[in-house]
Amino acid sequence: MAYLISEEAQDLLQDVKKFCEKEVVEQCKAYDVSGEWPKEIYDKAIEQGYQALEVPEEFGGPGLSRVDVAALIEQMAIADAGFATTISASGLGMKPVLIAGSEALKQRACDLILDGGFGAFCLTEPGAGSDAGAGKTTAVKDGDEYVLNGRKCFITNGGIASFYCVTAMTDKTKGVKGMSMFFVEKGTPGLSTGKEENKMGIRTSNTCDVVLEDVRIPASNLIGEEGRGFNIAMQTLDQARTWMGCVATGIAQRGINEAIAYGKERVQFGKPIIKNQALKFKVADMEIKTETARQMVAHALTKMDLGLPYTKESAIAKCYASDIAMEVASEAIQMFGGYGYSREYPVEKLLRDAKIFQIFEGTNEVQRIVISNSVIGK
């Protein structure tokens, strides 16, 4: 394993593995079919404090390094990618506050997480996906308050969050320099959510629209300064992309695990199919690519922990890991043969889960732009 983790994290990793084997793997199969959000699974995860893995020690959290957390998140993803996405997205919801928020907002966000809540990051809009600066949501200053209006879409944890970090335009004439970031708590009048998306994969995560209709919040809920919203959002995504690479690596690892287990059991021509050299080579290639993805994730997170620039490394980790998750899932299906195409077996789900990681937190096409700009120059 590429993750060189602390003794505390090693103990936690064993706890997470046991928890996932007991409470997640089998249970999530039914929820993948129904599309319902598995509240009881997350309630048990909250009892273990898994939603708070990224809360800094100074705000009451466990004080784990990012690399420590990555090992835990990947283990969750091996069990179920939707489960890992939900836990990871809660940390994502906190990141804008931790990057630029006041000490009071940081403590409030962390307290909500520690109390069993989830966070959500609200950037994407119906007309603003890769072009995040095209958002229509507005925030108008009114005395000592801001009034927010707009609609966000495809928001992970949207229907279950205790708080939302929301981008909104405070000055439409300035383009992305007129975008600001705000902290909005659940239950604020005018804040509502749309129906849950009926997704192809990661069906144990909650994804929906977040609607703001004359939502009034204190001016102190501005994160950072007016006009810094786009910059804060990009810093948030720089971090989030590596976590998506981490989850994608877990999907790939599950594909390897399932392919090997099936290959040892499936007998053709008088011997287990895993004895065929062609399949051994296939497994070797799957392992090479998965371990490479894991190393890329670990490298990006190590640079974050050291306070070094990591934008390019984060983009590489997300882009490569999500691409190989799709590839490894497809190869696992191939090793299962016709059974791999059946929903009675676990590998077709891996392909459905993997696809979104090439899309959200910036499509892989956008990642390649980020990478090329870093190498060539803009």
Residue among 331, 250, 321 at smallest CA distance from 289: 321
Extract the tokens encoding 349. Answer: 């789900």
Q: By three-state DSSP, how is residue 239 classified?
A: helix
Q: Clarify whether 361 is annotated catalytic.
A: yes
Extract the tokens encoding 152. Answer: 């966000």
DSSP 253-273: HHHHHHHHHHHHH-EETTEEG
DSSP 110-126: HHHHHTT--EEEE--BT
Residue among 236, 305, 318, 317 at smallest CA distance from 56: 305
Of 54, 197, 331, 361, which residue is the catalytic one? 361
Tokens 């890992």 correspond to what residue? 84
Helices (H), 151-271: 229-265
DSSP E strands, the chain: 119-122, 138-142, 145-156, 163-169, 179-185, 191-196, 207-218, 222-223, 267-268, 271-272
Contact in structure between 242 and 301 (CB atoms under 8 Å): yes
Q: By three-state DSSP, how is residue 29 classified?
A: helix
Residue among 237, 183, 173 at smallest CA distance from 212: 183
Report residue 65: phi and psi, to 5°.
-75, 165
| Active site amino acids | 361
